[in-house]
């Protein structure tokens, strides 16, 4: 099982963690861990963006080599809903 070493942070840069995760973890797993560990609002939808390459990770996508590399920064961003 291969792992990737990344930094996960919030969009406002107030929270940040360096983690090693199995590549089998999904974008949804990373978002859920951030919500749980950092007590982020649970009534908000979040997106996961790799700021190193500007690409969004789909919630069902794994941390594949093509999307995430060691040292990349994944940002948990709230999805704003216009109303």
First-to-final CA distance of the chain: 44
pLDDT digits (tens, 9 = 90+) for 13-57: 999 999 999 999 999 999 999 999 999 999 999 999 999 999 999
Q: Is 35 helix (H, G, I), strand (E, B) or coil?
A: helix
**What domains appear along the chain, each with residue ranges and CATH number?**
3-78 (3.10.20.90)
CA dihedral 44, 79, 17, 3 (to 10 degrees): 110
Per-residue pLDDT at 83 exceeds 70: no
Per-residue pLDDT at 1 exceeds 70: no
Q: Which of the four pLDDT bands, split at 50, 70 and 90, describes residue 80?
A: confident
Query: Rounded to whole angstroms, how far apart are CA atoms 83 and 65?
Result: 37
């Amino acid at each position: 099982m291969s792992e990737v070493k990344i930094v996960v942070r919030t969009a406002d840069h107030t929270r940040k963690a360096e983690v090693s995760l199995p590549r089998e973890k999904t974008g949804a797993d990373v978002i859920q861990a951030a919500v749980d560990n950092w007590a982020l609002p649970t009534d908000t939808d979040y997106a996961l963006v790799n700021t190193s390459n500007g690409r969004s990770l789909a919630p069902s996508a794994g941390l594949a080599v093509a999307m995430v590399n060691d040292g990349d920064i994944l940002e948990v961003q709230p999805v704003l809903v216009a109303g």
